[in-house]
Structure 1
Amino acid sequence: MPSVSIVIPAYNEEAVIRQCILAALYQSVPALEIIVVDNRSTDRTAELVGLMQEEYPEAPLVLLSHDAEQGLIPTRNYGLDHATGDVLGRIDADSVLEPDWVEQVQRGFADPTVMAATGPVLYYDMPLRRFGLRADDRIRRFVLKLARKQYHFLFGSNMALRRDAWEAIRAEVCRDEADEMHEDLDLSVHLADHALKILYLPGMISGMSARRLEDSPKDYRYYVTRFDRTYRNHKIHRRVLRVPMLIFMGVYYPAKVLRKVHQVRTGQLIRRGGI
């Protein structure tokens, strides 16, 4: 089976980085390495990773610092460039992998034609989490069907790509200095340009926070319309590829209300972070 590295870009993620690393450590099949790339954090992110290295001295936990540039894309690239696995997993610092995530990735990439993969997400700080997982899975399958199997929607919180695929597109991925696009969607497009097979794996499940709902309507809209800006940048004009954007726009207000109710009932204190 192919070896799997897990890369975690992080900026000011002291509230969530420990739970993310613990989930990556406690896997049914261990990852080759778990690489946290700290990008100029001003909080205790790097310190907490260092403490976990002391707590788990046998764990393949690696802490890298990327200080040359601020931003998710250069931090992501730095981590992928330093990973040594056959398959390079990429998650966010608020991701909480299911215990069989590495195993599911290995199974998917046992097919040598698979060059990248993504799966559904479970929003762990929302009510009705398993119902939400089923809904997320169905939406992704629906979009895949509409796109006629040309899947252009890797999800940065839950994705993996073969090392050979990363090396093929590494010099081409957009830098997006203006911060207008979805970086994971940009990866997807470049993979598709090379006719590299992207697989949807329903068993490749990652938990993630719904903290994006804390954004103002204006900021959330800007985030969602990154779909349009990414496709326009690549001169892709297929209307069907707007469906995820429309879905995200449609669920904002009802999901925000559900999240607030859940926070009140559970007494959650959500701290924001992220690159």
Structure 2
Amino acid sequence: MNNPDTPVVLSVVIPALDEARAIVTTLDRLVAQDAVDEVLVVDNGSTDGTRRIVAEYAIRNPKVVLVEEDRRGVARARNTGLDVARGEFLARTDADTLVAENWGEVVRRYLTEHPGTAALTGLTTYYDSPVGFLLELGYRIQIRRGKLGGQVGNLHGPNMAIRRSAWEQVRDDTSTRPDVVDDLDLALCLSKRGLRIDQLLDMRAETSARRRHTSPRRWWDFQLSGLRTIQAQGFHVLPYHRFFIVMAWFAHTAQWPLYRFWDFDRRRFTVRRSTARAFPLAGQA
């Protein structure tokens, strides 16, 4: 475990549930960065060996700390990790996400140079998708149009960071309900207190597209969870919110047939159906 007397500037929290196949690669990318002082993996009741793998990894890499949170839920695991973390800046990513090699440096530099910013989020693409180039193309078009970057109203869980001082302000406002979206909920809590969220174009990460294997019906449930999250924090659901979730559902449904027979490990199509990644859908305990 880290020396408690060692100054910690940037801590990274990783909620994890049955991520034995991906967690080591994710940790390798983080511990290699000098800007990352501490990595906390919050095991959320894994049964596939994730806890053992992380415990053994922590013995070899003192930056890594295994934390256990048996109460299921991404928000619970995230909150436990952020509460335990010692850094002035608290970042979060997913167990199947590969942050860019300069990710920690980007987070530390921006939060140091912009004291008025409470939280950050970046751009996240896919590393194992047959149509991932479409997302990257969309980003490039939006960047050229000046539509990305600057102050925003949302956060993306696999690619975000928050000041400790901001987290301490909103921590008790956050919801751990299983039928709300944890990163949107946190963003709304920040917005209610007038705390600024910035999107950085050079804060990059790549995540797994396994969530795209989720059926259209369950994906629609997840989209509805977004509206429920807005209402739960006391905001009004506006027409553009409903329009957005309908468009997001259509986009997912159009791609879903491709993912049903996509082998995420071998990166090729197969007649065997692949397994969807656990996804925080509405009503999931």
Q: TM-score scaled to structure 2, two decimals?
A: 0.83
**Superposition pairs of residues 130-149 of structure 1, within 5 angstroms:** 131-136=134-139
Among 127, 145, 161, the alignment partner of 1:124 is 127
AA in 1 matched with 2:58: Q
- What do the CA deviations read for 1:210-265 (whole angstroms, capped 9, x no partner)? 11121122111111222211112223233334454234212113322444575386
Question: Does the aligned pair in 1 maintain the 2:216–2:256 contact within 8 Å?
Answer: no
Q: CA deviation at 1:111?
A: 0.6
Among 21, 31, 39, the alignment partner of 1:34 is 39
Question: Does the aligned pair in 1 maintain the 2:16–2:95 contact within 8 Å?
Answer: yes
Cα RMSD of the aligned pairs, angstroms, is 2.7
**Superposition pairs of residues 74-93 of structure 1, within 5 angstroms:** 74-93=76-95
Question: Is the alpha carbon distance of 1:230 and 1:175 closer, same or farther for their aligned partners in structure 2, counting shifts above 3 Å?
Answer: same
**Superposition pairs of residues 118-267 of structure 1, within 5 angstroms:** 118-127=121-130, 129=132, 131-136=134-139, 151-176=152-177, 179-233=178-232, 234-242=234-242, 244-259=244-259, 263=263, 266=268
Determine the structure 1 residue equivalent to 2:101: 99
Among 25, 42, 47, the alignment partner of 2:52 is 47
Q: CA deviation at 1:25?
A: 1.7
**Superposition pairs of residues 58-69 of structure 1, within 5 angstroms:** 59-67=62-70, 69=71
Question: Is the alpha carbon distance of 1:188 and 1:242 closer, same or farther for their aligned partners in structure 2, counting shifts above 3 Å?
Answer: farther
Q: CA deviation at 1:11?
A: 1.2
CA distance in 1, matches of 2:164, 2:191: 16
Higher strand share: 2
Identity among equivalent pairs (%): 30
CA distance in 1, matches of 2:212, 2:239: 25
CA distance in 1, matches of 2:254, 2:244: 17
Which shifted more, 104-113 or 188-197? 104-113
Of structures 1 and 2, the one scoring higher in RCO (CA 8 A, sep 6+) is 1
AA in 1 matched with 2:230: Y
Unaligned runs of 5+ in 2: 1-7, 281-285
Q: CA deviation at 1:61?
A: 0.7
Among 17, 23, 44, the alignment partner of 1:17 is 23
Q: CA deviation at 1:51?
A: 2.1
Q: Secondary structure at the match of 1:204?
A: strand
Instruction: Give the count of matched residue pairs.
Output: 265
- What do the CA deviations read for 1:175-218 (whole angstroms, capped 9, x no partner)? 21xx2211110100110011001000011111111111211221
CA distance in 1, matches of 2:192, 2:73: 25
CA distance in 1, matches of 2:202, 2:154: 17
Unaligned runs of 5+ in 1: none
CA distance in 1, matches of 2:143, 2:250: 15
CA distance in 2, matches of 1:143, 1:241: 21
